[in-house]
Each structure stands twice: as structure tokens, then as C-alpha cells.
Amino acid sequence: MGSRGEWSVAAVVLGAVLWGLSGTAARALFARHHVSPAGLVAVRMTVSGLILLASLVVRRGARSVWGPVQGSFGALLIFALAGLLVVQYSYLLAIAASNAATATLLQYLAPGIVVVYVAAKSRALPPSSTVAALLLTVLGTALLVTGGSFTHLALGPLALAFGLLSALALAFYSLYPVALLRMYGALPVVAWGLFIGGLTLTAALAAAGRPLLPDHLDGAGLALVAFVTLFGTLAPFPLYLAGLNRLTPTFATILSAAEPLAAAVASVVWLHLRLTPLEWAGGVGIAAGVLLMAGTARRPPVPRASGRAASLSGRL
């Protein structure tokens, strides 16, 4: 593959691992430091969006950065609020109600939702291999949610509801911004989406008299907030895009399976999470279904890096 190809693989895997670790760090903030999901979402989105916008101004100039706001503000607002903000908030609520590994795996149902939507819209059945992949994800979800006992839920109803909402929002986020990405590129659109979504939530929390972070948050808590913001939100996206310069989207999707693996391992080692063998089997089924879909599902005709950015940057 060559040194540059190997670096691209490493960049994609590192980005996916950072996404997975950030979910576990968020769970630690909720359980040990009493940080609210809303406050963490507001901080990570606002700060990351602001830093991305500032870096784009330095590298490309203010005119190129203002393009999405001046030319497509309505579409950008929908993307920021109904897409990015809902994805982020519901994902962290699912983590708070369960754990990072389960929330990440439930969010991985988004590709299956996209496949079903595209098939319904086009009134054409997907290939048999894609149907098999969908069945794998459904079976995996059933095992993850029930633990193999279909008389009760191993997963709480709130965790399930927020996890499914996160998957639906990510599916919407993957389909909606195609025109925006074509016109303005991935980084400006995502930077504005993060900043607008984070600023909106910050204003809502201020109006409700709720602080972003607890007053008593100690150094360890602040370090975790910084990690989630900088290494779990800001850093993975450029890493992923850099890796895509030399990798196909399908191969990158396969490598991105490192995300739920990292979340699961970190949750077991750091937070002492215990999953039953059938719950682990459910997680493997979801991941296997997503990987199978990555090799069979038809992708929309958008530029390679932009299309992949739309589908994965919801985890920022």
C-alpha cells in the first residue's frame, strides 16, 4: 500500500477510535462528574465549530467561509438544528441512559435506515446482499436490546428511544445536506453546523438558567470535557477526511468499525461495563450488517470525500 496509504489507514482508524473513546469519556462525565448531556453538547459543538471556522478563515479567507451562510442559510439552519444538534444530543442522552458501546451500536443502525428510505423512495428493492445486511442489523439490535430474552428489555426504554432517535437523526443528516456539500464543501458546512447548533443550545440553556458545566467541576472533569471537545469532536473529522484522500469510502467504512470496538473496550476497562455474551453477539451482528452494506449499497452521486463526510461527521 505504501507509506502514504498506510498513513491514510492510520488516520481513519485513529479518527474512529477517538470518536469511540469520546463516548466513553462522556459517560464518565455524566456518571462521575455530574455534567449534563445538554451542557456537554453545547460546549463541544460551539467550541469545535468556532475553532474550525477560525482555521478555515486563516487558510481560505473569510469569503469562502461565509458562503453557506450567505447563500443557503435556511438549509444550513435545518442541517445544524434538525441534523447535527439532534444527532449529538440524542446520542449523548443514549449514552447517559446506557453506555457508550450500546449507544454507538444503536446509532450504527443509520445506514440501514438510509437503505430502506432510498428503496422506498425509488420503489425498488435493494440487492439480496443488502437485505441480508439489514436482517443482520435487525437481529443484532434485538439481541442487544433484549439480551436474548424476548420477554423483557435488557436495555432501558429511554436508552432505546434515544438510541433509535440518534440513528434516525444520523440517517437524516446523511441524506439532507448533499446539495450543501456540493456547493460549499464539507468543512465549511460542518463548521457552521456545529457552531450554529451549539450556540442555539447554549442560548436555550442560558434562557432556562442552566449552567453549561457544574460550578464544582474539578481538574479531571475539565480534562475530560477538553478531550471530548478537542479529540472527540474537532480532531477526528479532519483525520477522517485526510484518510479518504487515498482510501475508498467502502474501505474507510470498514475501518470505521474501530469506533464501536474502541467504545466497548474502553467501557469494559475504564467503566467496568458488563455485557452478556448475547449482547456482545448483538453488537457484532449490527457491525457486520453495516460492513456488509458498505460493500453493497449504492451511494448518492456526490464527491467522494463530501459524501463520506455527510455520513460520518454526525459522530463529531
Give the separation between CA 314 and CA 294, rounded to whole angstroms: 17
Residue numbers of the domain that contains 75: 2-315
Query: How far are the Cα atoms of 16, 17, 23, 95, 129 from residue 259, in angstroms, in the given order?
Result: 5, 5, 10, 14, 24
* pLDDT at position 244: 61
pLDDT along the chain (316 residues), means of 10: 66 82 93 96 96 93 88 95 94 91 83 83 82 80 69 76 92 86 88 95 96 94 96 82 63 64 77 76 79 58 39 45
* pLDDT at position 194: 94
Q: Enter the pTM of the model.
A: 0.83
* pLDDT at position 310: 41
Domain total of the chain:
1
* pLDDT at position 294: 63
Task: Pull the grid cell for residue 159.
Answer: 436508552
* pLDDT at position 299: 43
The full DSSP string for 242-287 is HHHTTS-HHHHHHHTTHHHHHHHHHHHHHS-----HHHHHHHHHHH
* CB 257 within 8 Å of CB 287: yes
